[in-house]
Amino acid sequence: SVFPAQPRFPMIILRSPKGMGGVHDYRGELIEGSYRSHQVPLKDARKFPDQVAMLDAWFRSYQPEEFFRVENGVWKFKQFLQDFCPAGARRMGCNPYTQNRFTEGRKASAFRKLDLPDMFDFETKIDVANRDKVVGSATLELGRYVCEVMRRNPDAFRIFSPDELESNRLQSVFEITHRNYQWPVKSTDTHVKAHQGGRVTEVLSEHM
């Protein structure tokens, strides 16, 4: 086979209720283990003191005092956590490769000026008198713009998508590239090619 052996990683499967460890229920409505635990489980804490109390108990259950200290009224990481953080040029925003600075006598090659199209070539023109009849999508137009950026910069522009690319309406880029994939491609896959240099890398936002 042209594909490398696919490893079999050990796996722990945890089946847990949605929102486990949060607010269990409120005024007779179940929150933990239901759709109500998604995003903002207690939406009216500004109005109801009992919701503030429940939020306080929930957040304190994580025992933040084990990880933070209060210094002059400001919460800061305790030293053992700060020791894990990179310092100086090892910080992401200060890395010379992201700043196009000289390092060890060589110019960092990660930074390259892109050939960008005029964004107004991709605008949706609206006649004020008939604006209620114009149908458009900001993200679809963004996809057309990004597609042209990829076309103009074949060796200098890639997409790392922290969500499903097509659900973000950027599928126009598939006119000129495809998803980068490393394992065998199934017959049901679309816009996916293995080991053929696709310039779209999709990952789950939870992994970023």
Pair 103, 96: CB distance under 8 Å = yes
SS3 state of residue 49? helix
CA distance 14 to 8: 18
* Predicted confidence pLDDT, tens digits, the chain (208 residues): 566 677 788 889 989 988 899 999 999 889 998 888 877 889 899 999 999 999 999 999 999 999 999 999 898 999 999 999 898 888 877 777 666 665 455 554 556 789 999 999 998 888 888 777 777 788 899 999 999 999 999 988 999 887 678 878 899 999 999 888 767 777 777 777 766 778 888 876 665 5
- Amino acid at residue number 56: D
This prediction has a pTM of 0.53
CA distance 18 to 32: 6
Cβ 143 vs Cβ 169: under 8 Å:
yes
The Cα–Cα gap between 118 and 149 comes to 10
